[in-house]
Protein backbone atom coordinates (compact mmCIF):
# COMPACT_ATOMS: atom_id res chain seq x y z
CA UNK A 1 0.00 0.00 0.00
CA UNK A 2 2.81 2.44 0.86
CA UNK A 3 4.58 1.68 -2.42
CA UNK A 4 1.48 2.56 -4.43
CA UNK A 5 1.03 5.87 -2.58
CA UNK A 6 4.70 6.75 -3.15
CA UNK A 7 4.37 5.87 -6.82
CA UNK A 8 1.33 8.18 -7.15
CA UNK A 9 3.30 11.09 -5.67
CA UNK A 10 6.27 10.45 -7.95
CA UNK A 11 3.99 10.31 -11.00
CA UNK A 12 2.27 13.53 -9.92
CA UNK A 13 5.61 15.31 -9.55
CA UNK A 14 6.83 14.01 -12.92
CA UNK A 15 3.61 15.03 -14.71
CA UNK A 16 3.76 18.46 -13.07
CA UNK A 17 7.37 18.93 -14.19
CA UNK A 18 6.46 17.86 -17.73
CA UNK A 19 3.54 20.32 -17.79
CA UNK A 20 5.70 23.19 -16.49
CA UNK A 21 8.40 22.34 -19.05
CA UNK A 22 5.86 22.41 -21.89
CA UNK A 23 4.49 25.75 -20.70
CA UNK A 24 8.04 27.12 -20.47
CA UNK A 25 8.90 25.92 -23.98
CA UNK A 26 5.69 27.38 -25.38
CA UNK A 27 6.44 30.77 -23.80
CA UNK A 28 10.02 30.61 -25.05
CA UNK A 29 8.81 30.33 -28.65
CA UNK A 30 5.61 32.43 -28.44
CA UNK A 31 6.89 35.45 -26.48
CA UNK A 32 9.20 36.77 -29.25
CA UNK A 33 6.33 36.59 -31.73
CA UNK A 34 4.05 38.47 -29.31
CA UNK A 35 6.74 41.16 -28.84
CA UNK A 36 7.08 41.43 -32.61
CA UNK A 37 3.31 41.89 -33.01
CA UNK A 38 3.25 44.57 -30.27
CA UNK A 39 6.10 46.42 -31.97
CA UNK A 40 4.42 46.19 -35.37
CA UNK A 41 1.31 47.72 -33.82
CA UNK A 42 3.41 50.52 -32.24
CA UNK A 43 5.04 51.27 -35.61
CA UNK A 44 1.67 51.39 -37.38
CA UNK A 45 0.34 53.68 -34.64
CA UNK A 46 3.36 55.99 -35.04
CA UNK A 47 2.72 56.19 -38.79
CA UNK A 48 -0.93 57.11 -38.17
CA UNK A 49 0.08 59.80 -35.66
CA UNK A 50 2.62 61.32 -38.07
CA UNK A 51 0.08 61.33 -40.92
CA UNK A 52 -2.56 63.03 -38.74
CA UNK A 53 0.01 65.54 -37.42
CA UNK A 54 1.13 66.26 -40.98
CA UNK A 55 -2.46 66.91 -41.99
CA UNK A 56 -2.81 69.49 -39.18
CA UNK A 57 0.49 71.13 -40.13
CA UNK A 58 -0.56 71.43 -43.79
CA UNK A 59 -3.98 72.82 -42.78
CA UNK A 60 -2.34 75.46 -40.59
CA UNK A 61 0.39 76.18 -43.15
CA UNK A 62 -2.14 76.79 -45.93
CA UNK A 63 -4.18 79.05 -43.66
CA UNK A 64 -3.61 82.64 -42.62
CA UNK A 65 -0.83 83.88 -40.38
CA UNK A 66 -1.82 83.38 -36.75
CA UNK A 67 -3.99 80.34 -37.42
CA UNK A 68 -3.62 77.78 -34.65
CA UNK A 69 -4.78 74.18 -34.15
CA UNK A 70 -4.52 71.72 -31.29
CA UNK A 71 -3.41 68.16 -32.01
CA UNK A 72 -4.09 65.47 -29.39
CA UNK A 73 -2.58 62.00 -29.44
CA UNK A 74 -1.23 59.22 -27.27
CA UNK A 75 1.56 56.71 -27.76
CA UNK A 76 3.15 54.12 -25.54
CA UNK A 77 6.41 53.20 -27.26
CA UNK A 78 9.25 55.10 -28.85
CA UNK A 79 10.19 58.77 -28.93
CA UNK A 80 8.66 61.59 -30.96
CA UNK A 81 11.26 64.14 -32.03
CA UNK A 82 10.65 67.59 -33.47
CA UNK A 83 13.89 68.57 -35.20
CA UNK A 84 13.87 72.27 -36.11
CA UNK A 85 17.33 72.28 -37.67
CA UNK A 86 16.23 69.66 -40.25
CA UNK A 87 12.57 70.81 -40.47
CA UNK A 88 11.45 67.28 -39.71
CA UNK A 89 9.35 65.32 -37.24
CA UNK A 90 10.05 61.66 -36.57
CA UNK A 91 9.44 58.68 -34.34
CA UNK A 92 12.30 56.49 -33.14
CA UNK A 93 11.19 53.06 -31.94
CA UNK A 94 13.29 50.19 -30.56
CA UNK A 95 11.73 47.15 -32.16
CA UNK A 96 11.67 43.37 -32.49
CA UNK A 97 9.67 43.82 -35.70
CA UNK A 98 11.69 44.65 -38.79
CA UNK A 99 9.55 46.54 -41.37
CA UNK A 100 12.37 46.77 -43.91
CA UNK A 101 15.84 45.53 -44.56
CA UNK A 102 18.27 47.48 -42.36
CA UNK A 103 19.80 50.46 -44.15
CA UNK A 104 17.14 50.73 -46.86
CA UNK A 105 14.71 53.66 -46.74
CA UNK A 106 11.09 52.94 -47.62
CA UNK A 107 9.02 55.88 -48.90
CA UNK A 108 5.42 55.37 -47.80
CA UNK A 109 2.90 58.14 -48.43
CA UNK A 110 5.24 61.02 -47.59
CA UNK A 111 6.92 59.20 -44.72
CA UNK A 112 10.43 57.77 -44.82
CA UNK A 113 10.88 54.54 -42.86
CA UNK A 114 14.41 53.42 -42.04
CA UNK A 115 15.43 50.36 -40.03
CA UNK A 116 18.90 50.29 -38.49
CA UNK A 117 20.60 47.61 -36.44
CA UNK A 118 22.92 48.50 -33.57
CA UNK A 119 24.41 45.85 -31.28
CA UNK A 120 21.79 43.28 -32.31
CA UNK A 121 18.89 45.66 -31.63
CA UNK A 122 16.67 47.11 -34.36
CA UNK A 123 15.64 50.76 -34.39
CA UNK A 124 12.88 52.01 -36.69
CA UNK A 125 12.82 55.68 -37.68
CA UNK A 126 9.60 56.99 -39.24
CA UNK A 127 10.27 60.50 -40.52
CA UNK A 128 8.32 63.33 -42.15
CA UNK A 129 10.56 65.92 -43.81
CA UNK A 130 9.16 69.39 -44.55
CA UNK A 131 10.45 71.35 -47.53
CA UNK A 132 7.73 74.03 -47.76
CA UNK A 133 7.64 74.86 -44.05
CA UNK A 134 10.13 76.02 -41.47
CA UNK A 135 9.34 73.84 -38.43
CA UNK A 136 10.17 75.38 -35.04
CA UNK A 137 9.54 74.46 -31.43
CA UNK A 138 8.06 77.30 -29.35
CA UNK A 139 9.01 79.73 -32.15
CA UNK A 140 12.70 78.85 -31.75
CA UNK A 141 15.07 76.78 -33.84
CA UNK A 142 15.46 74.05 -31.25
CA UNK A 143 14.64 70.39 -31.03
CA UNK A 144 12.21 68.69 -28.69
CA UNK A 145 11.84 65.05 -27.69
CA UNK A 146 8.45 63.86 -26.48
CA UNK A 147 8.44 60.67 -24.42
CA UNK A 148 5.62 58.11 -24.40
CA UNK A 149 2.88 58.75 -21.89
CA UNK A 150 -0.29 57.03 -20.74
CA UNK A 151 -1.91 60.48 -20.82
CA UNK A 152 -3.04 62.40 -23.88
CA UNK A 153 -0.34 64.67 -25.29
CA UNK A 154 -1.46 68.02 -26.71
CA UNK A 155 0.49 70.00 -29.26
CA UNK A 156 -0.29 73.52 -30.40
CA UNK A 157 0.46 74.08 -34.10
CA UNK A 158 0.59 77.72 -35.19
CA UNK A 159 1.30 79.51 -38.48
CA UNK A 160 3.83 82.24 -37.64
CA UNK A 161 4.22 83.34 -41.28
CA UNK A 162 7.45 84.49 -42.85
CA UNK A 163 9.12 83.97 -46.22
CA UNK A 164 9.17 80.18 -45.91
CA UNK A 165 6.02 79.68 -43.80
CA UNK A 166 7.10 79.06 -40.23
CA UNK A 167 5.11 76.54 -38.26
CA UNK A 168 5.63 76.71 -34.51
CA UNK A 169 4.84 73.57 -32.53
CA UNK A 170 4.52 73.74 -28.75
CA UNK A 171 3.58 71.18 -26.15
CA UNK A 172 0.61 72.26 -24.05
Helix ranges (H only) for the chain are 2-62
> Which whole number is the average pLDDT over 33-48?
94
> Which whole number is the average pLDDT over 136-144?
93
- In whole angstroms, give the CA distance from residue 106 to residue 129: 14
Helix, strand, coil: what percent of the chain each, to 5?
35, 40, 25
State how many domains the chain has: 1
Per-residue pLDDT tens for 65-116? 999 999 999 999 999 999 999 999 999 999 988 888 899 999 988 999 999 9
Provide the phi-psi class of 87: left if phi over 0, else alpha when psi is between -120 and 50, else beta. Answer: left
CA distances from 53 to 35, 46, 96, 129 (A): 27, 10, 26, 12
**Structural domain of 142:** 2-171
Q: Are strands 166-171 and 134-137 parallel, antiparallel or unpaired?
A: parallel
Mean predicted lDDT score pLDDT of the chain: 92
Q: Residue 139: which residues within 8 A CB-CB, separation 6 or more?
A: 160, 166, 168
Could you tell me if 47 and 111 are in contact, meaning their C-beta atoms sit under 8 angstroms apart? yes
pTM: 0.82
Amino acid sequence: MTKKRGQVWIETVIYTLIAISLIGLTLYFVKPKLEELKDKSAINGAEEILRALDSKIVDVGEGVVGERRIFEFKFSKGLLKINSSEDSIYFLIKSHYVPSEPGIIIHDGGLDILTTKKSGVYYVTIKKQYVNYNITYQEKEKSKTINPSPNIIKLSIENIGGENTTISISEI
